[in-house]
Structure 1
Amino acid sequence: MAKTPRILVTNDDGFESPGLHALREALSEVGEVITVAPTLEKSACGHSLTLTRPLRFVELEHNFYKLDDGTPSDCVFLSLKKLFEEAKPDLVVSGINRGANMGEDITYSGTAAAAMEAVLQGIPAIAISQVCRSQCQEIDELGYRLARETARTLAKKVLSEGFPLPERQFLNVNIPPVEPEECRGWQITHAGRRAYGNDAQVHINPRGQEYYWIGLPRLDWHPHPHPRNEWSDFEAVRENYVSITPIQLDMTSYGEIERLKGWMNDGNRH
């Protein structure tokens, strides 16, 4: 009798997020789903681990825990100690994030960070995010239907055919804000170039003290021709395709190593 695959699910929007529950429901058709999610929203926390205070698992129901008060990386790291001591999960899926994780936003993303932690631990991983047109209001109308279908399809493919990437790499998936019947398919993409501003609002609290609130920037990006003319994640989503990007954790710029050696040697001659 075939062994039922076990899938660890987490996110960075917190344990009450509709996207998390949509993902749990979708993957329950594929295997046994064990969910460990942060108590509070941890958007843009990056690949952070909690080292300065203890953390506590709170069981909400069978196979569903919140980590009080952990990050997505904590959720994966500590789950392996508490829930998967005998055998690692077959797959980690992080999401469904409320909002895009494209371009350099991947470095901020707690959703992507959970997938990073998983592949560091030798577990195949997928990060999945639902792109919004504006402020994410339309997600409630869409109901994560395309995201659920995509997550289910990818998980089945990974579990039946094996993970397609080398070690320390994960799949970063971004879903266009359309109904499944409006989706044009999928594109394998590279991470695009995000256009960043510096949006922050300054306010005065009742005690007269100044404070800042970082705003939500528009999802702008710079065209970035790739040497092999591949689509960027931004281009794919704009054209109503699901974007699937292979992400590697090794950020070394190998093409610049020799140039940097020459630059350092030139400096030593003076």
Structure 2
Amino acid sequence: MPRILITNDDGIYSKGIRAAVEAVKDLGEVYVVAPLFQRSASGRAMTLHKPLRAKLVNVPGAKVAYGLDGMPVDCVIFALARFTHFDLAISGINLGENLSTEITVSGTASAAIETATHGIPSIAISLEVDWRKTLSEGEGIDFSVASHFLRRITRTVLEKGLPKGVDMLNVNIPNDATPETGIKVTRLARRRYRPTIEERIDPRGYPYYWIVGRKCEKFEPGTDAYTLKVERKVSVTPINIDMTAGVDLKEVERLLRSGL
């Protein structure tokens, strides 16, 4: 059977990762390695200055599951060292959408990017949520529709592989989606948030700072953000991890030489 690695950035006790396991457990042999704690917005951070601890966790449907006191990328590295190879990697189901070029900030997307660098077809999947109704670790969230689409996409990738030039898929599910909701292949929006700093004063009169993000409200048609937020469709963005600009490299070289 195909070997499937599942990870996330919300932590191994998140309902989202358990929904992912449930969705694909009969499509392959499922291994889970995920952070023990919430690691959202960790990007491709790795733990290099202290040892990692791993804990066996019971995750129904998984052949084996480890919780790691590290980052999502640490989990991928641990899994590859421990279990050698995988035919597919899934990161999610994440609590909250991961859109635009800012997916490089996301621990969920970055875990899939990491597995893709090892030549493993990868899927990052996220579910839009209403944070006013969300409790810790996804309590109160219905993952059934996201699980439905994850299963469909996983089966297709296992059977047919990813198209040439595609290393991973970044999938976003609207919170009001049904199994009949349309799927649209998209490109990344430029930005989803515009981060800034909010200064506050502590009880002793010293300033401290929060990084906060102001949401962009207008998106170009054809982008993942427009598809999810305006068209209310499932967005699937094919990602190539080679970020080299698709331009004539000789032209860039001539431009640089002209200024020397």
Query: TM exceeds 0.5?
Result: yes
Name the aligned partner's letter for residue 234 of structure 1.
A
After TM superposition, give the deviation of residue 247 of structure 1 in Å.
Answer: 0.7
After TM superposition, give the deviation of residue 27 of structure 1 in Å.
Answer: 1.5
1:82-139 CA-partner distances (Å, limit 9, x unpaired) = 1x13xx111110001111111112111111111111111111110001123x436367
Give 2:5's match in structure 1, choosing from 1, 8, 17.
8
The aligned residue for residue 148 of structure 2 is 149
Give 1:52's match in structure 2, choosing from 42, 45, 49.
49
1:36-79 CA-partner distances (Å, limit 9, x unpaired) = 111121111111221111112111126111001x1111111111
After TM superposition, give the deviation of residue 165 of structure 1 in Å.
Answer: 4.1
1:178-220 CA-partner distances (Å, limit 9, x unpaired) = 1415x53101111112253234432333444321122354353
Name the aligned partner's letter for residue 137 of structure 1.
K
Q: How far, CA to CA, are the matches of 1:44 and 1:50 in structure 2? A: 15
Q: How far, CA to CA, are the matches of 2:47 and 2:73 in structure 1? A: 9
| Higher mean C-alpha displacement, 23-32 vs 134-143 | 134-143
Name the aligned partner's letter for residue 226 of structure 2.
E
1:16–1:205 Cα change, 3 Å: farther
For normalisation by structure 2, the TM-score amounts to 0.87
Name the aligned partner's letter for residue 235 of structure 1.
Y
1:267–1:172 Cα change, 3 Å: same
1:219–1:63 Cα change, 3 Å: farther
Instruction: Say if 1:145 and 1:179, in contact at 8 Å, map to a contact too.
Output: no
The aligned residue for residue 227 of structure 1 is none
1:80 aligns with 2:80: yes
Instruction: Say if 1:145 and 1:180, in contact at 8 Å, map to a contact too.
Output: no
After TM superposition, give the deviation of residue 142 of structure 1 in Å.
Answer: 5.1
Give 1:180's match in structure 2, choosing from 161, 178, 181.
178
Instruction: Say if 1:44 and 1:109, in contact at 8 Å, map to a contact too.
Output: yes
Name the aligned partner's letter for residue 233 of structure 1.
D
Q: How far, CA to CA, are the matches of 2:239 and 2:132 in structure 1? A: 25
Q: Which runs of 5+ in 1 are unaligned?
A: 225-230
Q: How many residues align?
A: 252
After TM superposition, give the deviation of residue 140 of structure 1 in Å.
Answer: 5.6
The aligned residue for residue 113 of structure 2 is 116
The aligned residue for residue 228 of structure 1 is none
Q: How far, CA to CA, are the matches of 2:40 and 2:206 in structure 1? A: 26
Percent of aligned positions with the same letter in both sequences? 39
Q: How far, CA to CA, are the matches of 1:259 and 1:136 in structure 2? A: 51
The aligned residue for residue 247 of structure 1 is 239
Q: How far, CA to CA, are the matches of 2:181 and 2:27 in structure 1? A: 24
Q: How far, CA to CA, are the matches of 1:42 and 1:240 in structure 2? A: 27
Instruction: Say if 1:193 and 1:221, in contact at 8 Å, map to a contact too.
Output: no
What is the CA RMSD across the aligned residues, in angstroms?
Answer: 2.2
The aligned residue for residue 236 of structure 1 is 227
- SS of match in other structure, 1:253: coil
- SS of match in other structure, 2:108: helix
Give 1:137's match in structure 2, choosing from 120, 133, 136.
133
